[in-house]
A = this chain, B = another copy of it.
Amino acid sequence: MQTGRIYLFPSSLGDVPPSEVLPQRNIELLRGVRHFVVEELRTARRFLKACDRSIVIDDLHFEVLNEHTSSDEVEAMLAPALTGEDIGVISEAGCPAVADPGADLVAAAQRRGIEICPLVGPSSILLSLMASGFNGQSFAFEGYLPIDAGRRAARLREMEKSVRTRRQTQIFIETPYRNNRLVAELARTLSPDMLLCVAADLTGPRQSVRTLSLRRWRNETYDYDKIPAIFLIYS
């Protein structure tokens, strides 16, 4: 029997209508899928309804995959694909399997030779890199900075060094309520000639992408409090 495929369905970042940020083809493919593996049930159902109001949620099967899911449970979620059914993966925001537990499902599927179909959608990493003006031929995404002060300072120094010696753009994120503190911290601790790009509310109504030297960020007025944002440094 032919195995099913695993479709990786990106979702909107924030409250943006799916049709603004997703190709129509994603929505057509979504209509044909009965089995979903989702990071958060409520968000996924809301997303499906926003894609197509005629989708009948109760006809669909959902499995929740989050950081508490064991690897045996992840393996079991592949069952529909092994009997020829397609599976759709939806993460809480943006591209599945990039910075969420969906990657474990994809890895398990790759081990079994199941076909994976990644679909186009919004990625704050890529969108911010495009709009920053920074080097896109060499870049690294590092997720969150460490919280521990010593390790955090060491990471920032290491990032600055990668910018200077390897011309590698450094990309990272912060918990939204700490955004303002992070900008102030970067302005205080990195070289004043280093460039910082802050990309906030990407694809959303308050979208802004600003690149300034840290010297200028020091005297700049900004408020990114609780707005999803991503940070990039380069020189």
Q: What residues of chain A have their CB less than 8 Å away from a CB belonging to chain B? A: 8, 19-25, 95-100, 103-104, 106-111, 115-118, 120-123, 125-143, 168, 197, 202-203, 207-212
Contacts of A23 in B (CB 8 A): 19-24
- Tallying the copies of this chain within the complex gives 2
Q: A202 touching B118 by the CB < 8 A rule?
A: yes
> Binding site of A, secondary structure by majority: helix, strand, loop or mixed?
mixed
> Complex Cα distance A125/B129, Å?
12
Q: A103 touching B142 by the CB < 8 A rule?
A: no
Given A120-B203, A138-B141, the answer on whether A8 and B133 have CB atoms closer than 8 Å is no
Q: A8 touching B130 by the CB < 8 A rule?
A: yes
Nearest 6 Cβ contacts at the A-B interface? A107-B133, A98-B136, A106-B133, A110-B211, A140-B140, A118-B130
Q: B130 touching A106 by the CB < 8 A rule?
A: yes
Q: Which of B118, B134, B140 contacts A128 (CB 8 A)?
A: B118
Q: B116 touching A131 by the CB < 8 A rule?
A: yes
Q: A130 touching B202 by the CB < 8 A rule?
A: no
Q: B207 touching A120 by the CB < 8 A rule?
A: no
Q: B131 touching A117 by the CB < 8 A rule?
A: yes
**Identity of the chain B residue whose Cβ is nearest the Cβ of A133 in the assembled complex:** B107
17 contacts between A and B (CB under 8 A): A8-B131, A23-B23, A97-B131, A99-B137, A103-B133, A106-B130, A107-B133, A110-B133, A110-B212, A118-B126, A118-B131, A118-B202, A120-B203, A126-B126, A138-B140, A139-B141, A140-B140
Contacts of A118 in B (CB 8 A): 126-128, 130-131, 202, 209
